[in-house]
Amino acid sequence: MPRWILHVDMDAFYASVEELDHPELRGKPVIVAGPEPRGVVATASYSARKFGVRSGMPTAQAKRLCPQGIFLPPRFERYEEVAQKVRAILREYSPVLEPISLDEAFLDLTGTELLHGPPEKVAAEIHARIPRETGLSCSVGLGPNKLLAKLASDSAKPGGLRIVRPEEVQSFLDPLPVEDLWGVGPKTAERLWEKGIRTVRDLREIPVGLLRSWFGQKGGEALWQLARGIDESPVVPVRAAKSISNEVTYPEDLFEREKILAELRRLALLVADRLREEGFLAQTVQIKVRFSNFVTSTRQTKLPAPTDHPLILAEEAVGLFSRVGVPPGQGIRLLGVGLADLVPATFRPIPLFPDPKLGEALWEVRRKFGPDSLGLGPTGLK
Ligand SMILES: [Mg+2]
């Protein structure tokens, strides 16, 4: 089966999020950067790039190049929030998602045709949905492997969509400068230039034996493959954080047991929502309870198998509370629910738990209408 890999790259991501949140900055030279003297530029808007400002450049140098620039400190939590929205859209089309950074991800669409239609159509749909649903511009590339997908989205920047079909690979690659190939670092590029090799077409004309003698067995073969657009590397779903949690400090301590259990269920459903959005299953449920006297107690339990079933997770959280001895006279000032031992949902085991459909339905309603649309009563949804 031919592979179809999609690459999404948000355009000038941090700067674009700042412009989204502060419309008065739109079109201005916005530069998200760490403070001087040691800070560097994280992202420059396209308008700031006209002044020569680039990411990775010291902030001081950017200020010299673009004194009228609007320099803002990064707000990673906010960028992560937007990145999660983008990833949730992508996961609707395939669970095999590999985030590369907050603003870039690969998605393996191989074999999703029956569910979602031709990958070309899916790519166009994703390319239209991300700006519509996040207010931010993105570039999308689709190709037979990661190398081509990434090069395709690069060539579509900013805001475009580029599809490279298997029969177009060579004509797409040939005119590109060799340094554009992934895996050709500045040193290799320089050695290739010295030999008069500037484009991928030039590189493709060099016999593999000669490449081996120049760059060693492994390096030479890698270059030979890159020049032909060969890249077998898989899209590997990974997760940066090892757990997902949510906690709340209450303005007034909670004393009623019913109220406490209802809160635990509410928090459990919120973390279960996030678990689903990020495409994971959890095998460990944790709770954190802080009493009026600030003493904190935690409990955790390991499930027989990983799950994202919201009802199971909520009932486990409630069950854990019965193992917390609340000291006499103490109220609860903080409650937290966490999920750990996460595995990608692609490894979903055969359902071990009751009512998978009920869990599915609960998630669907909350996703469409928000977390307040459907929760659990004081005794749970039973
Ligand atoms: Mg980007």
Residue 28 has pLDDT above 50, yes or no: yes
In the chain, ranges of CATH 3.30.70.270 domains: 1-165
Of the given ranges (69-78, 299-308, 335-344, 364-373), which has the lowest mean pLDDT? 364-373
CATH 3.30.1490.100 domain extents, the chain: 243-369
Is the per-residue pLDDT at 251 higher than 60? yes
Residue 375 confidence (pLDDT) above 80? no
More confident residue, 378 or 338: 338
> What's the pLDDT score for residue 347?
53
Cα 112 to ligand 1 centre (Å): 26
Task: Please say whether the beta carbons of 184 and 145 come within 8 A.
Answer: no
Distance 43 CA to ligand 1 centre (A): 9
Confidence label for 382 from pLDDT (cuts 50, 70 and 90): very low
What pTM does this model have?
Answer: 0.65
- Averaged pLDDT of the chain: 89
Task: Place 238 in a pLDDT band, splitting at 50, 70 and 90.
Answer: low
Q: Is 12 left (phi over 0), alpha (psi -120 to 50) or beta?
A: left
Task: Write down the pLDDT at residue 285.
Answer: 96
Q: Which class would CATH give 1-165?
A: alpha beta
Average pLDDT of the residues in 5-11: 97
Residue with the bigger pLDDT between 8 and 236: it is 8
Q: The CATH number of 174-227 is which of 1.50.10.20, 1.10.150.20, 2.70.240.10, 1.10.10.10?
A: 1.10.150.20
Letter for the amino acid at 232?
E
pLDDT digits (tens, 9 = 90+) for 131-145: 999 999 999 999 999
* Architecture, CATH, for domain 243-369: 2-Layer Sandwich (3.30)
* CA-angle at 234, arms to 232 and 237, nearest 5°: 170
Tell how far the Cα of 224 is from the centroid of ligand 1, in angstroms.
Answer: 28
pLDDT band at 211 (very low <50, low <70, confident <90, very high): very high
Per-residue pLDDT averaged across 75-99, rounded?
Answer: 90
Residue 261's CB: how many other CB atoms inside 10 A? 21
Q: What is the DSSP string of 88-113?
A: HHHHTT-S-EEEEETTEEEEE-TT-H
Q: What is the mean pLDDT of residues 177-187?
A: 89
- pLDDT at residue 153, as a whole number: 97
Q: What percent of the chain has pLDDT over 90?
A: 67
Q: What is the pLDDT of residue 348?
A: 55
Distance 241 CA to ligand 1 centre (A): 21
DSSP 8-state class, residue 309: -
Residue scoring higher pLDDT (5 or 279): 5
Q: How far is the CA of 187 from the centre of ligand 1 (A)?
A: 24
Percentage of the residues of the chain whose pLDDT score is greater than 70: 92
Least confident interval from 144-148, 320-324, 340-344: 340-344
CATH 1.10.150.20 location in the chain: 174-227
325 CA distance to ligand 1 middle (Å): 50
> Does pLDDT of 92 surpass 70?
yes
Q: What is the mean pLDDT of residues 59-70?
A: 96
- Residue 239's pLDDT is what? 55
The pLDDT value recorded for residue 380 is 54
Query: Does pLDDT of 377 surpass 90?
Result: no
Answer whether 42's CB lies under 8 Å from 74's CB: yes
What positions carry a catalytic annotation? 104
- How far is C-alpha 250 from the geometric centre of its chain's CA atoms? 31
